[in-house]
Amino acid sequence: MNDPSLLVLSSLAEGDKHGYAIMTDIEQFAGVRLGPGTLYGAITRLEERGMIRPVRTGDRRQPYAITPQGREVLREQLTALEKAVRTGLRRLRQA
Amino acid sequence: MRRRLAALYPRWWRDRYRDEFEALLDDAPPRWTDGFDILKEALPMRVRSLNSWQIAGGCAVLGAMFALTGSYALPRRFVSSAVIQPVGDSLMGDRAIRVTRQVLSTGSLAPVIVRNGLYEEMRKSAPLEDVVSRMRKDIRIGSVLKSRGPAGGAMSLSFEYVDPAKARATVRDLSEQLAAQTGAHLIDGPNLPDQPVFPNRRTIAMAGVLAGALLGMAGARLARASSARKAT
């Protein structure tokens, strides 16, 4: 899974959001501003793989929700990332 | 501008996401990088929605266009020819070889080069002997088959050069030398060529089509491999 997809899943883990809300949330918690093309590229791929789903709405702003499969993949990815971060930090302290 | 770029996405994507994507564009403050960001996603998606034959066909057309455009940057080369009718056996057997050697000798060609202003760029940097060697490669001397009617037993002489008028003047010059040595006379030409023999644009266009199609197929495979990597 690439970084934009991970960031989108992390954003939706908190609750349903539409595109612009996902964009601003990611900017706040990760300090990264995803462009509109990158964001919707990630949304397209995540929906194709069943990791997110659209939430019914009457608005043009389409909200998305993370699916159980998406949560599982996010947990696996973040756990692997956490392990890598811990190892890196420990080695930095030892050096 | 950003809305127009959204039209680059494939139809299935626009049918599914266009409204909400435009809602995002309405909400998000524009940045100068947005155009590139949309192109970066939309174009590979568009290419992936085509089949390999469509991609190869599009690239073949582009390849032909690039090749043809590039061919106009190549110097054109023209060939002027003449046919010389010998008197008796003046251009037969060993005598023909001896006369040909004489015409192609440095002593014969060097004055022709100077008189006709040939290879001016090369003469600025290379010794005359090298220029003469280059000219020999551009001269063709051969016999005309007897089956060609009244020219049977005659000799053909041609010269290839970037300037058609200089090509003709050179062939005339060489033919006159040949005639003076053997008593032969010109029976055809030298002609003023109106069509270049190089570059052959049909061959170049075909090469462009082939290269474009092959690159297109390879590009389609790479795009699919990249798509598969993103899926994992």
pLDDT at B201 (0 to 100): 87
pLDDT tens digits for B190-211?
889 888 888 888 899 999 999 9
Assess contact for B195 and B160: CB atoms under 8 A. no
Give chain A's domain count: 1
**Which of chain A's residues have a Cβ under 8 Å away from the Cβ of B23?**
18-20, 59-62
Size of interface A-B (CB pairs under 8 A): 67
Q: Which residue in B112, B122, B115, B113 sits closest to B75, CA to CA?
A: B122
Do B82 and B182 lie in one domain? The reply is yes
In terms of residue numbers, what domain contains B104?
Answer: 78-188
Q: Which residues contact A61 (CB under 8 A, 6 or more apart)?
A: A18, A19, A20, B20, B23, B24, B27
pLDDT tens digits for B147-160?
444 445 688 899 99
CA atoms within 13 A on the CB side of B92: 7
DSSP H or E run through B205: helix B201-231
Do B103 and B66 lie in one domain? The reply is no
Looking at the domain assignment, is residue B48 inside a domain? yes
Q: DSSP character for B84?
A: E
Question: Looking at the predicted structure, is the pLDDT value of residue A89 above 80?
Answer: yes
**Which of chain B's residues have a Cβ under 8 Å away from the Cβ of A41?**
41, 45
In terms of residue numbers, what domain contains A67?
Answer: 3-94
Do B223 and B127 lie in one domain? The reply is no
pLDDT at B227 (0 to 100): 65
Nearest-CA distance B50 → chain A (Å) = 18
Phi, psi of B187 (to 5 degrees): -115, -10
Per-residue confidence band for B98, with pLDDT thresholds at 50, 70 and 90: confident
Do B91 and B181 lie in one domain? The reply is yes
Q: Pairing state of beta strands B155-161 and B78-85?
A: antiparallel
**Which of chain A's residues have a Cβ under 8 Å away from the Cβ of B37?**
35-38
pLDDT tens digits for B65-79?
999 999 888 889 999
Q: How many residues does chain B have?
A: 232
Over residues B58-65, the mean pLDDT reads 91
Assess contact for B14 and A9: CB atoms under 8 A. no
Exposed/middle/buried for residue B122 (C-beta within 10 Å: 0-12, 13-18, 19+): middle
Do B142 and B160 lie in one domain? The reply is yes
Chain-chain contact of A61 with B231 (C-beta, under 8 angstroms): no
Chain-chain contact of A37 with B24 (C-beta, under 8 angstroms): no
Per-residue confidence band for A2, with pLDDT thresholds at 50, 70 and 90: low
Which CATH number covers residue A21? 1.10.10.10
Question: Looking at the predicted structure, is the pLDDT value of residue B175 above 70?
Answer: yes
Give chain B's domain count: 2
Looking at the domain assignment, is residue B150 inside a domain? yes
Chain-chain contact of A40 with B24 (C-beta, under 8 angstroms): yes
pLDDT tens digits for A30-75?
999 999 999 999 999 999 999 999 999 889 999 999 999 999 999 9
Query: Alpha carbon of B181 to those of B91, B113, B185: distances in Å?
Result: 10, 19, 11
Looking at the domain assignment, is residue B117 inside a domain? yes
Looking at the domain assignment, is residue B217 inside a domain? yes
Chain-chain contact of A19 with B24 (C-beta, under 8 angstroms): yes
B229: nearest CA partner in chain A: A1
Beta bridge partners of B85: B185
Average pLDDT, chain B: 86
Looking at the domain assignment, is residue B24 inside a domain? yes
Looking at the domain assignment, is residue B116 inside a domain? yes
**Which of chain B's residues have a Cβ under 8 Å away from the Cβ of A59?**
23
Assess contact for A46 and A70: CB atoms under 8 A. yes
* Cβ burial B182-207 (10 Å sphere, 16+ → b, else e): bebebeebbbebeebebbeeeebbee
DSSP state string for B50-77: S-HHHHHHHHHHHHHHHHHHHHTTSPPB
Looking at the domain assignment, is residue B168 inside a domain? yes
Over residues B170-187, the mean pLDDT reads 85
Do B38 and B54 lie in one domain? The reply is yes
Assess contact for A61 and A20: CB atoms under 8 A. yes
**Which of chain B's residues have a Cβ under 8 Å away from the Cβ of A33?**
31
Q: Which of A60, A64, A76 to mutate to test the interface with B (most CBs of B within 10 A)?
A: A60
Looking at the domain assignment, is residue B193 inside a domain? no
pLDDT at B220 (0 to 100): 77
Do B68 and B102 lie in one domain? The reply is no
Lookup: tokens for B27: 């909400």
Between CA B98 and CA B119 the distance in angstroms is 26
Nearest-CA distance A84 → chain B (Å) = 19
Q: Pairing state of beta strands B78-85 and A64-66?
A: unpaired
Chain-chain contact of B24 with A38 (C-beta, under 8 angstroms): no
Chain-chain contact of B24 with A23 (C-beta, under 8 angstroms): yes
CA atoms within 13 A on the CB side of B155: 29
Q: Which of B37, B45, B47 to mutate to test the interface with A (most CBs of A within 10 A)?
A: B37
Nearest-CA distance A78 → chain B (Å) = 16
DSSP H or E run through A54: strand A52-54
Q: Which residue has the higher pLDDT, B188 or A79?
A: A79
Do B139 and B82 lie in one domain? The reply is yes
Do B138 and B153 lie in one domain? The reply is yes
